[in-house]
């Protein structure tokens, strides 16, 4: 069986190179190295080598996934899309999802609450637009409805702010045409007629 003849630290933090019978064999992370108790003069069977390589690949995937998942809250669909883009092996996916759940980094309800809060703070949207965005993120309609119901969104005020922000676009039109243009604009933004009417008449 091949023998571990050297373990050399890589320039990359947290990584090491493993040498078997005097030649470079593979790189691994320190966590996998310690978990497998790798040491100089240790005999390794091919199955043990394969196991260590697989553990190394999994740990590398997990580290990249954690970087992605901790940037901001994520939905299950976003994680599924990440797996697809990164061509993550099927046998890793279930284990990785359980890891994220254990770390409380994966929860569609928390994600939806965060998403709506961010939109209200930085880029206000109509309820219809928020619903469409959350559906695209894979959130269940029941969760969406509950979150939007509890969010106390003032659609009239949001619509009025949008009109004010974009008023320059309609300055050249007469009153009738201006109202028509504003109504069409707000309609495309997902506001219903009742909200549009209130926003324009009180504008």
- H helix intervals, 26-136: 30-35, 46-69, 76-85, 90-102, 108-122, 127-136
Task: Calculate the average pLDDT of the chain.
Answer: 94
Strand, coil or helix: 39: coil
Range of the domain at 38: 4-102
- Kindly give, in sequence order, each residue whose CB lies less than 8 Å from that of residue 34, ignoring residues fewer than 6 positions away: none
Whether 118 and 180 map to the same domain: the answer is: no
Please tell me the distance from the alpha carbon of residue 96 to that of residue 58, in angstroms, as a whole number.
Answer: 9
Is residue 36 within 8 A of residue 44, CB to CB? The reply is no
Whether 138 and 73 map to the same domain: the answer is: no
Whether 23 and 79 map to the same domain: the answer is: yes
Whether 81 and 129 map to the same domain: the answer is: no
* Buried-exposed string 72-95: b where 16+ CB fall within 10 A, e elsewhere: ebbbbebbeebbeeeebeeebbee
Per-residue pLDDT tens over the stretch 101-154: 999 999 999 999 999 999 999 999 999 999 999 999 999 999 999 999 988 899
pLDDT at 20 over 80: yes
- CATH number where 89 lies: 1.10.10.10
Whether 12 and 98 map to the same domain: the answer is: yes
**Alpha-carbon separation of residue 171 from 83, 95, 166, 183 (angstroms):** 49, 58, 10, 14
pLDDT at 7 over 60: yes
Whether 52 and 131 map to the same domain: the answer is: no
Using alpha carbons, select from 179, 181, 183 the residue that is nearest to residue 195: 183
In this structure, what DSSP letter does residue 168 have?
Answer: G
Whether 142 and 196 map to the same domain: the answer is: no
Please tell me the distance from the alpha carbon of residue 125 to that of residue 132, in angstroms, as a whole number.
Answer: 11
Please give the helix or strand (H or E) that residue 38 lies within, else none.
none
Rounded average pLDDT over 89-93 = 95
Q: What pLDDT score does 203 carry?
A: 56
Please tell me the distance from the alpha carbon of residue 74 to that of residue 78, in angstroms, as a whole number.
Answer: 6
Per-residue pLDDT tens over the stretch 165-184: 999 999 899 999 999 999 99
- CATH number where 190 lies: 1.10.10
Please tell me the distance from the alpha carbon of residue 46 to that of residue 48, in angstroms, as a whole number.
Answer: 5
Whether 16 and 79 map to the same domain: the answer is: yes
26 pLDDT tier (thresholds 50, 70, 90): very high
- How many C-beta atoms lie closer than 10 Å to residue 38's C-beta? 17
The phi, psi pair for 17, rounded to 5°, reads -100, 135
Using alpha carbons, select from 52, 3, 45, 4 the residue that is nearest to residue 31: 52
* pTM summary value: 0.81
Whether 138 and 159 map to the same domain: the answer is: no
Domain tally, the chain: 3
Is residue 112 within 8 A of residue 141, CB to CB? The reply is no
Whether 43 and 97 map to the same domain: the answer is: yes
Whether 93 and 124 map to the same domain: the answer is: no
Whether 43 and 123 map to the same domain: the answer is: no
Residue that the structure tokens 């959130």 belong to: 139
């Amino acid at each position: 069986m091949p023998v571990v003849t050297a373990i050399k630290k890589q320039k990359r933090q947290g990584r090491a190179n493993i040498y078997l019978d005097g030649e470079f064999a593979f790189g691994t992370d320190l966590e996998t190295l310690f978990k497998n108790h790798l040491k100089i003069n240790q005999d390794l069977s091919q199955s043990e080598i394969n196991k260590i390589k697989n553990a190394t690949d999994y740990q590398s995937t997990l580290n990249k996934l954690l970087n992605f998942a901790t940037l901001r809250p994520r939905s299950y669909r976003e994680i599924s899309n990440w797996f697809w883009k990164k061509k993550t092996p099927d046998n890793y996916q279930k284990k990785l999802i359980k890891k994220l759940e254990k770390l409380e980094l994966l929860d569609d309800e928390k994600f939806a609450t965060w998403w709506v809060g961010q939109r209200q703070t930085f880029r206000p949207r109509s309820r219809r637009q928020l619903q469409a965005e959350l559906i695209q993120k894979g959130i269940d309609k029941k969760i969406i409805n509950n979150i939007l119901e509890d969010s106390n969104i003032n659609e009239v005020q949001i619509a009025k702010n949008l009109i004010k922000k974009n008023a320059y676009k309609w300055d050249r039109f007469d009153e009738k045409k201006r109202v028509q243009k504003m109504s069409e604009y707000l309609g495309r933004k997902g506001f219903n007629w009742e909200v549009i009417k209130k926003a324009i008449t009180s504008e």
